[in-house]
Structure 1
Amino acid sequence: MSVETLPFIAAVGRMIRAAGRRTADADEPELAALMALEVDVRRAIQTAVDGQLAIGRTWSHIASAAGITRQAAHKRWSRKDAEVTR
């Protein structure tokens, strides 16, 4: 499964960039739909972080992936409640 993950993420990135180009000359509903993807991406990252922690990864591993300090990663993605509010 992990072999397919990086190409899958790369394809999603290409699609998001293409959506930005297409939306550049579109109307407000398309812009709103593209902006709503930001919430989806934040939730996807939270799900991934939660999963990484569940399989035993440390905050140091997560911080390294994010290019930030362990403390910053913990502050940003630690769950204080069940709902993602960021």
Structure 2
Amino acid sequence: MSRSIETPDYAAFLKRIIRAYSKRIAEGDIEALADLASVVAELDHAIAQAVTQLRANYGYSWSDIARPLGITRQAAQQRWGGERP
């Protein structure tokens, strides 16, 4: 079962939310800046989990992972191929 049709719309929705949150902070909510910065850690974790699942459950290679990201397979393996706690 493929959900590729919904995925671009969902990604666009997330981007709009992040931009809107950034605007709210830029309007003077300096205390929320740390919350926005923590989104980076969440996204890094989500990407790592997605890569792990794509490789484990669907057999995607490092080249497959690297291609849509515009990076080399070596870069993908270095970033997400290490041991996870």
TM-score range, shorter chain: 0.7 to 0.9
1:25, CA displacement in angstroms?
A: 2.0
Instruction: Give 1:44's aligned amino acid.
Output: A
Aligned-residue RMSD, C-alpha: 1.2
Match in the other structure for 2:71? 68
Instruction: Give 1:62's aligned amino acid.
Output: I
Residue pairs, 1:1-86, within 5 angstroms = 1-54=3-56, 55-82=58-85
Q: In structure 2, list runs of 5 or more residues that go unmatched.
A: none
TM-score computed with the length of structure 2 as normaliser: 0.87
Comparing 16-25 and 34-43, the one that deviates more: 16-25
Instruction: Give 1:68's aligned amino acid.
Output: I
Total equivalences in the alignment: 82
Matches of 2:84 and 2:6 in 1, distance apart? 32
TM-score computed with the length of structure 1 as normaliser: 0.86
Which contiguous aligned blocks of 4+ residues in structure 1 show a shift greater than 4 angstroms? none
